[in-house]
Chains A and B, each alone.
Chain A
Amino acid sequence: MIPELGHGAVIVGGLLAFYGAIAAAIAGRTGRTALLESAQHAALGVFGLVTFSMLLLVYAFLTFDFSVRYVALNTNLQTPYYYRITALWGALEGSIVLWAWMLALYTLIVILRHRHNARELYSWVLTTMLGVVAFFLLVMAVPAPPFERLSPIPANGRGLNPLLEDSGMITHPVALYLGFTGFTVPFAFAIAALATGRVGDRWITLTRRWTIVAWYFLSLGLLIGGWWSYHVLGWGGYWAWDPVENAAFMPWLTGTAFLHSVMIQERRRMLKLWNIGLVILTFALTLFGTFLTRSGVIASVHAFTQGSIGIFFLSFLSLVVLASLALLAWRWEALGAEGELDSVVSRESAFLLNNVLLVAATFTVFFGTVFPLLSEAVRGVKVSVGMPFFNSVNIPVFLSLIFLMGVGPLIAWRRASRDNLRRNFFWPVVAGVVSAAIFYAAGVRSTLAVLSLALTVFVTATVAVDYVRATRARLRMGESLLPAMGGLLVRHNRRYGGFAIHLGILVIAVGVTGSQAWSLHREATLKKGEAVELAGYKFQFDGLAAREASNHFVVESTFTVTNGKAHAEAMRPAKKFYPQEQSPIAHVDYRLGFMEDLYLVLGDFERDGSQATVKMQVNRMVSWIWIGGLVLTLGTVLAILPDRKKLA
């Protein structure tokens, strides 16, 4: 009963979404408000139906309904109830359900927020949103039906991939998808702008907060993904330039570029073509990401299984890209700039350079990701490029971007005078250079590390210069310190939110620099009672123990860790054996610290517990990455606060 009901809801929802898109489009062409109302009702209906089918699927999970194939594959009788709920997005079909639901939700929010304030653009926005929803419902109806039956009904399900039984698994897809789907909204507005010819500021002003929120969730999703990789996968790293990681990173890069370039359009009425192109590219890259992870076109450790779904996605991607670019070409004339770039030394120029660099990084990541495909198509040779490629090209780009983070917000518009440059940058440059000398003197020998840290100091100093100067101005006007400082943040929340976000990125950059430059690792085989040293820590192997858990059993090792001064601590890296898995899954034990993380992975062991091989890592400053994420969150909240009209 449930599978049929769910499948029916999906089909009706898909048809309704398709109808709504058409109705809104006709309303856009002819101005018939009755059709627009109808489209809105259709969107409401779609949201209801998608929510209904999602809840049915959750119900099937909770009641162990193994007649539903998706439930049978992803849970079994031992799966704890919370993972039974989150298994909803644990594999391909369910991930599409989540995506479609988020799109439907966003569509509803767009309707509530914009049906009155985006008059001319509104119908086309609705068309685009419903069109995209319709596509994902089509995927749910045809190549990846979540309600497909399994016959005969198995006695027990297969179970969730144990690597997914983790808090990261619960949150990472949700954050990431909120980011991906969030970019549909600015894209829809851009299409509406092209369709109506109203390619001025309006669509940008309306989508400002949407873009920041989508960008934030994408950043959060990437960070949680890094955290998940770090504490679950057992290699001690947080980013591997894996095709699936790259697929999520590329829209982040272009989304960041877009966030900045729209400011140029708002201020100087330039880069209209560029902005629309960027948002189209960003949306296309989110589709490309889902295509990559589900089509099997590029081999990756993350990939879901393939099928005909790849063809659906590639077709839709092609349709979106070609149609959007055709619209862009059609409106070419209207997209001319009204301002001009006066000088290299200007804010416009800095932002433009920021964009060029981000697009360059995007291109690099894209090129490296599809290179295996390209080399096989062109030369018939299977080649891939690994981490060194991405790092060697992207690191200079990212360092330049950090430098620009310091320059952009302070440098004058149009043409910066010598005086302006001196006032804003003298002390930050001094701070940067002095700090470089200090780092070098303190023993940092890696050029990249010195450069990266010095640039961080430079950028931080520019933020400080700005904040101090603005606070001083308020103090001079008779305000006291704390209200002045707070008032600034509230009155200019966009600017200071932006600064805070930049600071968050800096903290992350420092964390990345520290972990890459100063982390240590070692592998050793220890007999019971033996110890080995790394970075001032002593790791002693004490023995093995075995125990059973709800759906697996565990071989746990115990290590006593001391570092001379503090008390001894026990760490227990383990191997978990799941009945449905080919091989054991390593359970990492780690201790997080501000400057250092301890990280142990159990390798091979003797069955009688007399000996074990262990991989040890002392990872430096990785926690800064997560802390940076926190700062990023605070900055985002500040940046999207509603505008306060009154003077503080």
Chain B
Amino acid sequence: MKGLPLKPKFVAGIAVLAMALAYMIYAGVTQSAVYFVTPSELQASPRTGKAYRLGGMVEKGSVSWKAASLDLTFTLTDGQAKVPVRHHGTAPDLFGEGRGAVVEGRWTSEGYFQATQILAKHSEEYKAPHDANSAGYKELMKSLRGEQK
């Protein structure tokens, strides 16, 4: 093309860079790709060592938190299948029983999902309340204030 400012060797150089980039992207994607699954999908074909993002509802009564050892266990369900999950460390504030949550981690060979991260779902449209006047909070405040005497 008339007026092309680049000699063929520059075009070749850029092509090499482009290929290097393509390779790095490919490698990056295959190494850090995280697959979204529901509990049913995971139970259907769990693969140990593969990185997953598991989404479901935290089953009521399934949450167990051992503060001393920082071990959190709970069950994620989608109504059909259940997946036991373990996590080291506190859960984010949005996490709770009967609520949706997404966990990132791997399926272990011991039959549970080891979560490295918990991403609790935040809903913009509708919100459950914490009415500052309702019984639960008054009691919490009282007990904490009482601590100080």
**Residues of A at under 8 Å CB distance from B?**
158, 270-271, 301, 303-305, 336-341, 344, 349, 352, 356, 360, 363-364, 367, 371, 381-390, 392-393, 396, 523-525, 543-546, 548, 552-553, 555, 575, 577-586, 603-604, 606-609, 611, 613, 615
Choose among A336, A383, A579 the residue that contacts B3 (Cβ–Cβ < 8 A): A336
Report B53 CB to chain A, min CB distance, Å.
7
- Name the contact of B32 in the complex, choosing from A386, A553, A603 (C-beta under 8 A): A386
Assess the B143–A578 pair: CB atoms within 8 A: no
Instruction: Enumerate 30 A-B pairs (CB-CB under 8 Å) in ascending A order.
Output: A270-B5, A301-B119, A301-B122, A305-B124, A336-B3, A363-B21, A383-B34, A383-B36, A384-B53, A385-B34, A386-B104, A387-B32, A389-B28, A392-B31, A396-B24, A543-B147, A546-B145, A548-B132, A555-B140, A577-B132, A577-B137, A582-B94, A604-B65, A604-B67, A606-B67, A607-B143, A608-B143, A608-B144, A609-B143, A613-B67
> Given contacts A553-B137, A578-B130, A582-B128, are A523 and B28 in contact (CB under 8 A)?
no
Among the listed A356, A386, A523, A607, which residue makes an inter-chain contact with B70, where contact means beta carbons less than 8 Å apart? A523
A522 to B96, CA, bound (A): 23
Contacts of B27 in A (CB 8 A): 392
19 extra interchain contacts, Cβ-Cβ under 8 A, other than A336-B4, A371-B29, A525-B70? Answer: A301-B122, A336-B1, A340-B7, A344-B9, A344-B13, A352-B10, A363-B21, A383-B34, A383-B36, A385-B28, A386-B104, A387-B32, A392-B31, A525-B67, A553-B137, A584-B93, A609-B147, A613-B70, A613-B90
Please tell me if the beta carbons of B130 and A545 are within 8 angstroms of each other in the complex: no
Measured between beta carbons, the chain B residues less than 8 angstroms from A340 are: 5, 7
Q: Please classify the interface of chain A as helix (H, G, I), strand (E, B), loop, or mixed, using the class held by over half of its residues.
A: mixed
Chain A residue contacts of B119, Cβ below 8 A:
301
Report the minimum CB–CB distance from A333 to chain B (whole Å).
8
Within the complex, what minimum Cβ distance (angstroms) separates A264 from chain B?
9
Asked if A586 meets B93 with Cβ closer than 8 Å, knowing A543-B147, A544-B147, A611-B67, the reply is: yes
Q: Kindly list the 7 A-B residue pairs having the minimum CB-CB distance in the complex, ordered from nearest.
A: A336-B3, A603-B90, A382-B36, A388-B32, A337-B5, A546-B144, A609-B147
Residues of B within 8 A of A352 (CB): 10
**Contact B130–A392 (Cβ < 8 Å):** no
Residue of B nearest to A603 (CB): B90
Q: Tell me which residues across on chain B come within 8 A of A388, comparing CB atoms.
A: 28, 31-32
Are the CB atoms of A545 and B29 closer together than 8 Å?
A: no
Per-residue interface assignment for chain B, residues 105 to 145, with 1 indicating a CB less than 8 Å from any chain A CB and 0 otherwise: 00000000000000100111101111110000100110111
Q: Which residue of A lies closest to B124 (CB)?
A: A305
Kindly state the separation between the CA atoms of A581 and B112 in the bound complex, as whole angstroms.
32
Residues of B within 8 A of A553 (CB): 132, 137, 141
Expressed in whole angstroms, the minimum distance between the Cβ of B124 and any Cβ of chain A is 5
Residues of A within 8 A of B129 (CB): 579-580
- Inside 8 A of B67's CB, which chain A residues have their CB? 525, 604, 606, 611, 613
Determine if B148 is an interface residue (Cβ-Cβ < 8 Å). yes
| A270 to B6 CA separation, bound complex (whole angstroms) | 10
User: Known contacts being A389-B32, A393-B25, is A546 close to B141, with CB within 8 Å?
Assistant: yes
Partner of A604, one of B5, B6, B18, B90: B90
A593 to chain B minimum Cβ distance, whole angstroms, is 25
Which of A344, A360, A390 is B10 in contact with, Cβ under 8 Å? A344
**In the complex, A578 Cα to B129 Cα: how many Å?**
8
Chain A nearest CB: distance from B121 CB in Å? 10
State in angstroms the CA–CA spacing of A499 and B130 once bound together. Answer: 53
Of B13, B28, B148, the residue contacting A545 (CB under 8 A) is: B148
Which residues in A have their C-beta under 8 angstroms from that of B70? 523-525, 613
Contact B132 A615 (CB under 8 A): no
In the complex, B44 has a CB within 8 A of chain A: no
Q: Which residues of A contact B4 (CB under 8 A)?
A: 336-337
A392 touches B28 (CB 8 A): yes
Q: Is B89 an interface residue (CB 8 A)?
A: yes
Residue of B nearest to A614 (CB): B90
Distance in angstroms from B101 CB to nearest chain A CB is 12
Asked whether B93 lies within 8 Å of A585 as measured between CB atoms, the reply is yes
Q: Are A385 and B32 in contact (CB under 8 A)?
A: yes
Q: Which residues of A contact B1 (CB under 8 A)?
A: 336
B139 to chain A, nearest CB (A): 8
A646 vs chain B, min Cβ distance (A): 36
Residues of B within 8 A of A271 (CB): 5
Alpha-carbon distance between A384 and B32 when the two chains are bound, in angstroms: 8
For the complex, give the distance between the alpha carbons of A382 and B42 in Å: 13
Contact A356 B14 (CB under 8 A): yes
A586 to B34 CA separation, bound complex (whole angstroms): 28
B140: which of A383, A543, A607 is its contact (CB, 8 Å)?
A607
CA distance A301 to B121 in the complex (A): 9
Contact among B33, B53, B123, B145 with A582 in the assembled complex (CB-CB below 8 Å): B123
Q: How far is the CA of A334 from the CA of B3 in the complex (A)?
A: 10
What is the CA–CA distance of A386 and B28 in the complex, to the nearest angstrom? Answer: 10
Among residues of A, the one whose C-beta sits closest to the C-beta of B131 is A579
List residues of chain B with CB within 8 A of the CB of A364.
21, 25
By beta carbon, the residue of chain A nearest B144 is A546
